[in-house]
Structure 1
């Protein structure tokens, strides 16, 4: 007889290791953190370039970041990027509110200046617009006389 097991006999069995488990999908807080960070970055950039879109994205970043932090605290999971999204959203909102405030304070003068410049046909007409509106804007913001004329970025 041989020592080899037959078809009905059990021989030495080798245990195969369990196959590796696939990683678990990210939880809601883990998904919300990067979203808040991305919305915060986009909101900050768009606040500088196009105020209404930046304002909307900043509010969305703030809401997403706060919700993600609350969910993470409740289920004891990490929320990477949520705090960064909240901070960026707050910075963007402060910037947006300061822009809105400046526009509200000087709306009449700025709007009049832009309208005057658009209707000006000659260089003398543009100079007349500057002579009329720039002193008003300087007075409104308590700037020294002639300070806006010295700024090369002022049209």
Structure 2
């Protein structure tokens, strides 16, 4: 007998390397972390532009970040961005609460000033509105006298 393979026998088997496996899909914490971070950024921006939407997005960011961290601890997986989402959402909520508090304390002055300015027909009428309401706002906020006249107000 010879060692050479015959026509019905296969030659020496060579193993081909296994093709690379596709990466596993991200786990729930790995998806939740970036989502929380994105919601936190959007919540911070929207808090400055449109307060109710900012509060909602910030709350979602905090909830999504905390859930993602909890799931990550349970399955020992990373949750990238979850902490950033919680931090940004919390900063945004604190900012929103301070805005709401300022509006609540200063509502009469702000509302009176805006109403007065909207009904003013001349520049002198607008000046009279400033003369009447800016000192009230300065007193309520404990600002130095005429400090709001140096810096024009951000509201209409």
TM-score (norm 2): 0.93
What is the number of equivalent residue pairs in this alignment?
Answer: 155
State the match for 1:102 in structure 2.
Answer: 102
Between the aligned partners of 2:19 and 2:109, the Cα distance in structure 1 is 72
State the match for 1:47 in structure 2.
Answer: 47
State the match for 1:32 in structure 2.
Answer: 32
State the match for 2:57 in structure 1.
Answer: 57
1:129/1:144 CA distance change after superposition, 3 Å: same
Q: Secondary structure at the match of 1:97?
A: helix
State the match for 1:83 in structure 2.
Answer: 83
Residues 80-132 of structure 1, C-alpha deviations (whole Å, 9 max, x = no match): 00001111111111111110100000011101100110110100110111111
Shift of 1:72: 0.1
Residues 45-81 of structure 1, C-alpha deviations (whole Å, 9 max, x = no match): 1111111111111000000000000000000000000
Q: Secondary structure at the match of 2:18?
A: coil
Between the aligned partners of 1:93 and 1:6, the Cα distance in structure 2 is 80
Moved over 2 A (4+): 1-8, 152-155
State the match for 1:137 in structure 2.
Answer: 137
Shift of 1:8: 2.3
Between the aligned partners of 2:64 and 2:7, the Cα distance in structure 1 is 63
Between the aligned partners of 2:152 and 2:108, the Cα distance in structure 1 is 23
Between the aligned partners of 1:7 and 1:128, the Cα distance in structure 2 is 109
